[in-house]
Structure 1
Amino acid sequence: MKVQDYRALQAKAMSETQLQDLIIALAKQMGWLSYHTFDSRRSTPGFPDLVLVHPKQKRVIWRELKSETGTTSAEQKVWISTLLLVGEDVDVWRPRDWVSGRIEKELRGR
Protein backbone atom coordinates (compact mmCIF):
# COMPACT_ATOMS: atom_id res chain seq x y z
CA MET A 1 0.00 0.00 0.00
CA LYS A 2 1.30 3.43 -0.93
CA VAL A 3 1.58 6.17 1.68
CA GLN A 4 -1.03 8.28 -0.08
CA ASP A 5 -3.48 5.36 -0.05
CA TYR A 6 -2.90 4.81 3.66
CA ARG A 7 -3.46 8.51 4.37
CA ALA A 8 -6.68 8.45 2.36
CA LEU A 9 -7.92 5.51 4.44
CA GLN A 10 -6.99 7.32 7.66
CA ALA A 11 -8.86 10.42 6.56
CA LYS A 12 -11.94 8.48 5.51
CA ALA A 13 -12.12 6.72 8.89
CA MET A 14 -11.76 9.92 10.96
CA SER A 15 -14.88 11.58 12.36
CA GLU A 16 -15.30 15.32 12.70
CA THR A 17 -15.11 14.95 16.50
CA GLN A 18 -11.84 13.01 16.28
CA LEU A 19 -10.44 15.68 13.96
CA GLN A 20 -11.50 18.42 16.35
CA ASP A 21 -9.90 16.67 19.34
CA LEU A 22 -6.60 16.26 17.47
CA ILE A 23 -6.59 19.90 16.34
CA ILE A 24 -7.38 21.29 19.79
CA ALA A 25 -4.66 19.16 21.42
CA LEU A 26 -2.04 20.22 18.86
CA ALA A 27 -3.11 23.86 18.99
CA LYS A 28 -2.79 23.87 22.79
CA GLN A 29 0.73 22.38 22.55
CA MET A 30 1.63 25.16 20.13
CA GLY A 31 0.35 27.98 22.35
CA TRP A 32 -3.04 28.60 20.75
CA LEU A 33 -6.16 29.46 22.69
CA SER A 34 -9.16 27.67 21.26
CA TYR A 35 -12.90 28.13 21.45
CA HIS A 36 -15.54 25.65 20.40
CA THR A 37 -19.24 25.96 21.22
CA PHE A 38 -20.03 22.80 23.13
CA ASP A 39 -23.73 22.67 22.29
CA SER A 40 -24.62 24.79 19.28
CA ARG A 41 -28.36 24.09 19.30
CA ARG A 42 -29.05 27.49 20.91
CA SER A 43 -26.34 29.38 19.06
CA THR A 44 -26.39 31.29 15.81
CA PRO A 45 -26.49 28.74 12.97
CA GLY A 46 -23.38 28.43 10.85
CA PHE A 47 -20.83 29.90 13.26
CA PRO A 48 -17.46 28.18 12.63
CA ASP A 49 -16.53 25.19 14.77
CA LEU A 50 -13.23 26.59 16.01
CA VAL A 51 -11.82 30.01 16.75
CA LEU A 52 -8.09 29.82 17.43
CA VAL A 53 -5.99 32.73 18.75
CA HIS A 54 -2.20 32.80 19.02
CA PRO A 55 -0.86 35.72 21.07
CA LYS A 56 2.76 35.49 19.88
CA GLN A 57 1.83 35.08 16.22
CA LYS A 58 -0.85 37.77 16.68
CA ARG A 59 -3.24 35.65 14.64
CA VAL A 60 -6.86 34.63 14.80
CA ILE A 61 -8.10 31.82 12.62
CA TRP A 62 -11.64 30.59 12.09
CA ARG A 63 -12.16 27.00 11.00
CA GLU A 64 -15.17 24.98 10.05
CA LEU A 65 -14.52 21.26 10.49
CA LYS A 66 -16.01 18.61 8.26
CA SER A 67 -15.64 14.89 7.77
CA GLU A 68 -14.33 13.78 4.39
CA THR A 69 -17.86 13.64 3.04
CA GLY A 70 -19.45 16.48 5.05
CA THR A 71 -20.82 19.53 3.30
CA THR A 72 -21.15 23.11 4.51
CA SER A 73 -24.65 24.39 5.18
CA ALA A 74 -26.02 27.60 3.69
CA GLU A 75 -25.50 29.33 7.05
CA GLN A 76 -21.91 28.11 7.28
CA LYS A 77 -21.25 29.42 3.77
CA VAL A 78 -22.57 32.84 4.80
CA TRP A 79 -20.26 32.96 7.84
CA ILE A 80 -17.26 31.80 5.81
CA SER A 81 -17.83 34.24 2.95
CA THR A 82 -18.48 37.15 5.32
CA LEU A 83 -15.36 36.46 7.37
CA LEU A 84 -13.35 36.28 4.13
CA LEU A 85 -14.92 39.56 2.99
CA VAL A 86 -13.65 41.37 6.09
CA GLY A 87 -10.15 39.89 5.71
CA GLU A 88 -10.25 37.13 8.30
CA ASP A 89 -8.33 33.86 8.03
CA VAL A 90 -11.20 31.39 7.59
CA ASP A 91 -11.32 27.99 5.95
CA VAL A 92 -12.69 24.47 6.13
CA TRP A 93 -10.47 21.69 7.49
CA ARG A 94 -11.08 18.01 6.82
CA PRO A 95 -9.31 14.85 7.97
CA ARG A 96 -7.26 14.85 4.73
CA ASP A 97 -5.78 18.17 5.90
CA TRP A 98 -4.70 16.54 9.15
CA VAL A 99 -3.04 13.49 7.58
CA SER A 100 -1.33 15.60 4.92
CA GLY A 101 0.22 17.91 7.54
CA ARG A 102 -1.62 20.99 6.23
CA ILE A 103 -3.23 21.77 9.58
CA GLU A 104 0.03 21.60 11.51
CA LYS A 105 1.72 23.77 8.89
CA GLU A 106 -1.02 26.41 9.13
CA LEU A 107 -0.86 26.40 12.93
CA ARG A 108 2.91 26.91 12.79
CA GLY A 109 2.37 30.05 10.71
CA ARG A 110 2.82 30.90 7.10
Structure 2
Amino acid sequence: MVKAEAYLQSNVLKLCTSYRLLAYHTHDSRRSQPGFPDLVIVGPGGVLFVELKSEAGKTTADQEKWLAALNGAGVRAELWRPADLYSGRINDTLRDLAAKRRPRSVTCPSCTHKIPLEAA
Protein backbone atom coordinates (compact mmCIF):
# COMPACT_ATOMS: atom_id res chain seq x y z
CA MET A 1 0.00 0.00 0.00
CA VAL A 2 1.28 3.46 -0.92
CA LYS A 3 2.02 5.81 1.99
CA ALA A 4 -0.78 8.22 0.94
CA GLU A 5 -3.29 5.36 0.83
CA ALA A 6 -2.21 4.13 4.27
CA TYR A 7 -2.63 7.66 5.66
CA LEU A 8 -6.05 7.96 4.04
CA GLN A 9 -7.13 4.55 5.33
CA SER A 10 -6.00 5.39 8.86
CA ASN A 11 -8.02 8.61 8.83
CA VAL A 12 -11.11 6.96 7.35
CA LEU A 13 -10.99 4.23 10.01
CA LYS A 14 -10.68 6.89 12.75
CA LEU A 15 -13.74 8.67 11.36
CA CYS A 16 -15.63 5.36 11.25
CA THR A 17 -14.80 4.80 14.91
CA SER A 18 -15.89 8.31 15.84
CA TYR A 19 -19.24 7.79 14.08
CA ARG A 20 -19.59 4.27 15.55
CA LEU A 21 -19.62 2.66 12.12
CA LEU A 22 -18.38 -0.87 11.51
CA ALA A 23 -15.48 -0.98 9.07
CA TYR A 24 -13.77 -4.01 7.57
CA HIS A 25 -10.44 -4.15 5.75
CA THR A 26 -8.70 -7.31 4.54
CA HIS A 27 -5.16 -6.93 5.87
CA ASP A 28 -3.61 -9.50 3.54
CA SER A 29 -5.52 -9.54 0.27
CA ARG A 30 -3.08 -11.71 -1.69
CA ARG A 31 -5.48 -14.67 -1.58
CA SER A 32 -8.64 -12.60 -2.03
CA GLN A 33 -10.63 -11.87 -5.15
CA PRO A 34 -8.69 -9.30 -7.24
CA GLY A 35 -10.13 -5.80 -7.23
CA PHE A 36 -12.41 -6.14 -4.22
CA PRO A 37 -12.74 -2.70 -2.53
CA ASP A 38 -10.41 -1.81 0.34
CA LEU A 39 -13.12 -1.09 2.92
CA VAL A 40 -16.63 -2.21 3.72
CA ILE A 41 -18.36 0.27 6.03
CA VAL A 42 -21.72 -0.45 7.69
CA GLY A 43 -23.98 1.89 9.61
CA PRO A 44 -27.66 2.66 10.20
CA GLY A 45 -27.77 4.36 6.79
CA GLY A 46 -26.62 1.29 4.89
CA VAL A 47 -23.49 -0.33 3.50
CA LEU A 48 -20.68 1.42 1.66
CA PHE A 49 -17.79 -0.16 -0.23
CA VAL A 50 -14.74 2.06 -0.70
CA GLU A 51 -11.65 1.83 -2.87
CA LEU A 52 -8.82 4.04 -1.59
CA LYS A 53 -6.24 5.57 -3.91
CA SER A 54 -3.53 8.21 -3.70
CA GLU A 55 -4.15 11.34 -5.78
CA ALA A 56 -2.18 9.86 -8.68
CA GLY A 57 -3.19 6.23 -8.06
CA LYS A 58 -4.93 4.41 -10.89
CA THR A 59 -7.69 1.87 -10.42
CA THR A 60 -7.19 -1.51 -12.00
CA ALA A 61 -9.70 -3.05 -14.40
CA ASP A 62 -10.73 -5.48 -11.64
CA GLN A 63 -11.30 -2.61 -9.18
CA GLU A 64 -13.41 -0.73 -11.71
CA LYS A 65 -15.39 -3.92 -12.41
CA TRP A 66 -16.17 -4.38 -8.70
CA LEU A 67 -17.19 -0.73 -8.21
CA ALA A 68 -19.44 -0.82 -11.27
CA ALA A 69 -21.00 -4.16 -10.31
CA LEU A 70 -21.74 -3.01 -6.76
CA ASN A 71 -23.25 0.28 -7.91
CA GLY A 72 -25.21 -1.56 -10.60
CA ALA A 73 -26.66 -3.83 -7.91
CA GLY A 74 -27.87 -0.79 -5.97
CA VAL A 75 -25.06 -0.87 -3.40
CA ARG A 76 -23.00 2.25 -2.78
CA ALA A 77 -19.40 1.86 -3.89
CA GLU A 78 -17.04 4.81 -4.14
CA LEU A 79 -13.47 5.72 -4.95
CA TRP A 80 -11.86 8.01 -2.35
CA ARG A 81 -8.64 9.99 -2.58
CA PRO A 82 -6.86 12.23 -0.04
CA ALA A 83 -8.51 15.30 -1.61
CA ASP A 84 -11.88 13.84 -0.56
CA LEU A 85 -10.67 13.77 3.04
CA TYR A 86 -9.46 17.37 2.92
CA SER A 87 -12.63 18.64 1.21
CA GLY A 88 -14.86 17.09 3.87
CA ARG A 89 -16.59 14.76 1.41
CA ILE A 90 -15.55 11.63 3.32
CA ASN A 91 -16.68 13.09 6.63
CA ASP A 92 -20.06 14.10 5.15
CA THR A 93 -20.57 10.64 3.62
CA LEU A 94 -19.74 8.84 6.87
CA ARG A 95 -21.87 11.23 8.92
CA ASP A 96 -24.83 10.51 6.62
CA LEU A 97 -24.19 6.77 6.85
CA ALA A 98 -24.18 7.01 10.65
CA ALA A 99 -27.35 9.13 10.76
CA LYS A 100 -29.56 7.02 8.46
CA ARG A 101 -29.55 9.83 5.90
CA ARG A 102 -29.96 9.08 2.26
CA PRO A 103 -26.94 10.38 0.35
CA ARG A 104 -27.43 13.63 -1.58
CA SER A 105 -25.26 12.36 -4.42
CA VAL A 106 -23.14 9.45 -5.51
CA THR A 107 -19.73 9.57 -7.13
CA CYS A 108 -19.04 8.00 -10.49
CA PRO A 109 -16.30 5.42 -9.79
CA SER A 110 -14.53 5.96 -13.10
CA CYS A 111 -14.34 9.75 -13.17
CA THR A 112 -15.18 10.83 -9.56
CA HIS A 113 -17.89 13.18 -10.87
CA LYS A 114 -20.71 13.76 -8.34
CA ILE A 115 -24.12 12.67 -9.58
CA PRO A 116 -27.06 14.24 -7.70
CA LEU A 117 -29.79 11.84 -6.60
CA GLU A 118 -33.44 12.55 -7.21
CA ALA A 119 -35.52 13.49 -4.18
CA ALA A 120 -37.45 10.47 -2.91
Shared fold per TM-score greater than 0.5: yes
- Opposite residue 7 of structure 2, the aligned amino acid is Q
Residues 47-85 of structure 1 deviation map (CA, whole Å, 9 limit, x = unaligned): 00000001xx24100000000000100100110010011
**Residue 88 in structure 1 maps to residue 75 in structure 2:** yes
Letter in 2 for 1:94: R
Higher helix proportion (structure 1 or 2):
1
Aligned to 2:16: 27
Quote the Cα distance in structure 2 between the aligned partners of 1:104 and 1:22.
10
User: Between Structure 1 and Structure 2, whose CA radius of gyration is higher?
Assistant: 1
Residues 28-47 of structure 1: pairs in structure 2 closer than 5 A: 28-47=17-36
Letter in 2 for 1:39: D
CA–CA separation in structure 2 for the residues paired with 1:81 and 1:107: 21
TM-score by length of 1: 0.83
Aligned length: 95
Which residue in 1 is equivalent to 2:86? 99
Moved over 2 A (4+): none
Q: Which runs of 5+ in 2 are unaligned?
A: 97-102, 104-120
The alignment-based identity, stated in percent, is 46
Extract unaligned runs of 5+ from structure 1: 1-13
Distance 1:77 1:101 in 2: 24
Q: How large is the RMSD of aligned CA atoms in angstroms?
A: 1.0
Look up the match of 2:39. Answer: 50
- 2:24 maps to a residue whose letter is Y
TM-score relative to the length of structure 2: 0.77
